Amino acid sequence: MRRQANLAAQMSLTVVGSIAYDAVTTPFGERERMLGGAATHFALAASFFDQVRVIGPVGDDFDAQSWEVLQTRGTITDDVEQVAGGKTFFWKGEYHDNLNSRETHVTELNVFEEFKPKLSQEAKDCDVLFLANIVPDLQNEVRGQCQKARFVAMDSMDLWINIARDSLVETIAGVDCLILNDEELELLTEAPNFVAAANEILDWGPSSVIAKQGKYGAALFTKDGYFALPAFPLASVIDPTGAGDSFAGGFVGYVAAHPERPIDHELLTQAMVYGTALASFNVEDFGTERIVELSGNEIAARVGELQQMTTFAHQPIALRS
Amino acid sequence: MRRQANLAAQMSLTVVGSIAYDAVTTPFGERERMLGGAATHFALAASFFDQVRVIGPVGDDFDAQSWEVLQTRGTITDDVEQVAGGKTFFWKGEYHDNLNSRETHVTELNVFEEFKPKLSQEAKDCDVLFLANIVPDLQNEVRGQCQKARFVAMDSMDLWINIARDSLVETIAGVDCLILNDEELELLTEAPNFVAAANEILDWGPSSVIAKQGKYGAALFTKDGYFALPAFPLASVIDPTGAGDSFAGGFVGYVAAHPERPIDHELLTQAMVYGTALASFNVEDFGTERIVELSGNEIAARVGELQQMTTFAHQPIALRS
């Protein structure tokens, strides 16, 4: 645990999830060891919107530069548990076929294997909570400790759908928003498409479901409506690692930044746009490299572009019969 | 060739392509023999916007009911060549894996094998031309005969990219708009993604390129901008056959219906919305069954819904740094 000098009292956004070192090869280059992990990517994106508190384990090998990156834009790392004698979670993967497929070469859970989230009182008192992809039972336990949270969102993955479906369904029932890849929504519900899948999950407990669609964009389902936003068009994508967590960071961060507004379809729609913008920056370079140096002005400009690219004037036309 | 009583003088939209009988099995049902083919699906969708003239071959087996369906909303079939002793193009296929994959069981080209488009003067004088997916050289020949056309759009498929790429590239150079699946755009250009692919093709001749993305929607690239529209969210999709041609019918039809407007980014953007609406209706039932009975009011309502589902209020936010 590393104490920071100025603990802000107003922090309100807690994230629990992995902090990792990644080795990544894409058709456009490679990195042998770069800071990664779901909580890292989430925090870097969300820190534009609110002060973030990260919960997750690292090992002795977690270096000064990594602490610094994690603390970008004031993110609090007091709840990051540095396990003595342990090694940080390590993932090595390679992207093929124009980034359309991903192959995992190495997964070393290391300190993540025995991870039991310990929340400080400040972490428990969070206003907004994001449960990044970890064992569903742990997500549920953390969720239970954050009773004051007015918005709880979660991610998951196919692994838990396949080996811990009951726990996952129970965990989903306790959150406000499920953010999942569209194919995982179908796998989870056995529905024939993500529209039917998301609609079914709205009956399980969450008041909103987001279907992430990778390079195509994302779709939001709430009890009040549907909203879909295409991805920002990039002619050059360097590394997709962390795109989903950057999306979640922008999306959940936007909600956290608006404590005065009701968390309704309109707010979540606007949050989707910021999630989409952050995800698009994330993939422009390896790992955290682009988001670390990103400016608020760049985000604002991209949001404006996204609006222009998706807006049309509805001109009614006399149709033949 | 079947003469119709009232030949309208103002017709302006010509389509050349296949007219077929399809046998289709999906997880939701099957049809042993239904009217299909690219020109058929295109004409049914486009006929809401303008009078359509269809060019394509059929056999002796093409029955009265099929002529009637093809003539829906006044489509002119004078240029449909009924080959004596021939059999209509037949395709038999099956959809698996929640409609995500398609297997072809039978392809009988029949009269389509020897098809040489013969255009009447009225067909040649068209204002707008759509070249549905046929051999690129035939598309190019038809395109050359329609010198007055102010907008020419074309489709193609992976087969021609693989076995007739040079002809295809030459044909593309002569049209205004290429409409292709995003993966086919990548295959055609060897670009790493459809954004880079579409941008490259804009240098080949066309002033617009559309990347069809199936259940995710479609994206428009012009020299003046980018526009993307998600698909209409359907919890129940029955049969995707013809969706792309219905999209093209709505899209090209909308352009044909506005002879007074310049064919610019804005017009094509609005046309995309009608294409998306028509494609969404097409997949709600087998083959042509839904579009035949569709009303203009239903289309107008869906376009309004599409606008609502994709519109967001851009509320600038003070971002942290």
Q: pLDDT, tens digit, for every residue of B196-221?
A: 999 999 999 999 999 999 999 999 99
Across the beta sheet with A101-108, the strand order is A29-36, A20-26, A89-96, A101-108
Whether residue B41 is contained in a domain is answered as yes
Q: What is the least distance, in Å, from the CA of A110 to any CA of chain B?
A: 33
Q: Does A313 touch chain B (CB under 8 A)?
A: yes
Q: Do B193 and A235 touch (CB under 8 A)?
A: yes
Q: How is residue B31 written in tokens? A: 């049809």
What residues contact residue A170 under an 8 Å CB cut-off, 6+ apart? A136, A140
Query: Considering the domain boundaries, does residue B294 fall inside one?
Result: yes
Cβ–Cβ of B193/A49 closer than 8 Å?
no
Record: contact A192-B98, CB cut-off 8 A: yes
Interface touch A310/B227, C-beta < 8 Å: yes
**B269 contacts in A (CB within 8 Å)?**
312
What is the reported pTM? 0.95
**SS3 of residue B61 by DSSP:** coil
Residue A26 to residue B84: CA distance in whole angstroms: 57
Residue A4 has pLDDT above 90, yes or no: no
Task: Flag residues of chain B having pLDDT under 50.
Answer: 1-9
Q: Do B273 and A314 touch (CB under 8 A)?
A: yes
Domain membership of residue B113 (yes or no) is yes
CA distance A77 to A70: 7
Tell me which residue range forms the domain holding B238: 13-308
Q: Which of B49, B222, B312, B315 to mutate to test the interface with A (most CBs of A within 10 A)?
A: B312
Q: Which residue of A has its CA nearest to B190?
A: A98
Query: Which residues of chain A have a CB within 8 Å of the CB of B275?
Result: none
Q: Which chain A positions have a beta carbon within 8 Å of B219's beta carbon?
A: 230, 233
- Cβ <8 Å between A314 and B303: yes
Report the DSSP beta bridge partners of residue A128.
A13, A151
ipTM of the assembly? 0.94
Place A298 in a pLDDT band, splitting at 50, 70 and 90: very high
Residue numbers in A near B193 (CB within 8 A): 98-99, 215, 234-235, 237
Q: CB–CB of A299 and B319 under 8 A? A: yes
Q: What is the DSSP letter of A64?
A: H
The answer to whether position A224 is within a domain reads yes
Nearest to A230 among B217, B303, B304 (CB): B217
Helices and strands counted in chain A (H then E): 12, 13
Residue scoring higher pLDDT (B100 or A252)? A252
When CB atoms are compared, the residue of A236, A299, A321 closest to B73 is: A321
Task: Suggest the residue from A48, A186, A273, A312 to mutate for an interface test with chain B (most B CBs closer than 10 A).
Answer: A312
Q: How far is the CA of B2 from the CAs of A144, A177, B7, B51, B68, in angstroms?
A: 73, 59, 12, 17, 11
**Residues on chain B touching A269 (C-beta within 8 angstroms):** 312
pLDDT at residue A251 tops 70:
yes
Q: Residue B29: inside a domain, yes or no? A: yes
The number of CA neighbours under 13 Å toward the Cβ of A205 is 15
Which pLDDT band holds residue A10 (cuts at 50, 70, 90)? Answer: low
Q: Is B202 on the interface with A (CB under 8 A)?
A: no
| pLDDT on residue A71 | 98
Give the per-residue pLDDT at B315.
81
Average pLDDT over residues A137-162: 97
**Phi, psi (degrees; rounded to nearest 5) at A168:** -65, -45
% of chain A at pLDDT higher than 70: 97
H or E segment to which residue B173 belongs: helix B165-173
pLDDT digits (tens, 9 = 90+) for A151-198: 999 999 999 999 999 999 999 999 999 999 999 999 999 999 999 999
Where residue A124 sits, what CATH number does that domain have? Answer: 3.40.1190.20
In a domain, B197, yes or no: yes
- Contact with chain A for residue B226, Cβ under 8 A: yes
Average pLDDT over chain A, rounded to an integer: 95
Rounded mean pLDDT, A52-80: 98
Q: Is residue A7 included in any domain, yes or no? A: no
Count: domains in chain A: 1
HSE, side-chain direction, 13 A CA sphere, residue A162 = 4
pLDDT band, very low/low/confident/very high, at A315 (cuts 50, 70, 90):
confident
Buried b (16+ CB within 10 A) or exposed e, A23-59: bbbbeeeebebbbbbbbbbbbbbbbbbbbbbbbbbbb
Q: Best interface-test mutation with A: which of B181, B269, B274, B321 has the largest number of A CBs within 10 A?
A: B321
CA distances from A112 to A6, A86, B97, B177, B295 (A): 28, 9, 35, 52, 58
Quote the Cα angle for B247-A277-A303, to 5°: 85
CA distance A228 to chain B (A): 6
pLDDT at B10: 53
pLDDT at residue B7, rounded to an integer: 39
Q: Do B48 and A272 touch (CB under 8 A)?
A: no
B296:A309 CB<8 A: no
Query: Is A233 in CB contact (< 8 Å) with chain B?
Result: yes
CB–CB contact B269 A312 (8 Å): yes
Q: Which of A226, A257, A270 sits opposite B313 (nearest CB)?
A: A270
Task: For residue A195, give the nearest of B228, B229, B234 by CB distance.
Answer: B234
Q: Which residues of B touch A277 (CB under 8 A)?
A: none
Q: How many Å apart are CA B171 and CA B16, to the nearest integer?
A: 14
Cα of B21 to nearest chain A Cα, Å: 25
* Residue pairs between chains A and B whose CB atoms are closer than 8 Å: 160
User: What is the Cα–Cα distance from A247 to A274, expressed in whole angstroms?
Assistant: 8
Task: Confirm whether B218 is domain-assigned.
Answer: yes
Length of chain B: 321
Pairwise CB contact (< 8 Å): A195 & B312: no
- Mean pLDDT of all residues in A217-233: 98
Q: How many of the other CB atoms lie within 10 Å of CB of B97?
A: 11
- Concatenating the DSSP letter of every residue in A256-291 gives HT-TTS---HHHHHHHHHHHHHHHHHHTTSSTTHHH
Alpha helix positions (H), chain A? 38-46, 64-70, 121-124, 136-145, 158-163, 165-173, 182-189, 194-201, 243-256, 265-282, 289-292, 296-310
CA–CA distance, B226 with B262 (Å, rounded to integer): 17
Strand order in the sheet with B52-58: B80-82, B52-58, B13-16, B128-131, B151-154, B177-181, B208-212, B217-222, B225-230
Angstrom distance (rounded) from CA A218 to CA A179: 10
Nearest CB partner across the interface for A311, out of B73, B304, B311: B311
Lowest mean pLDDT among A255-264, A308-317, B209-218: A308-317
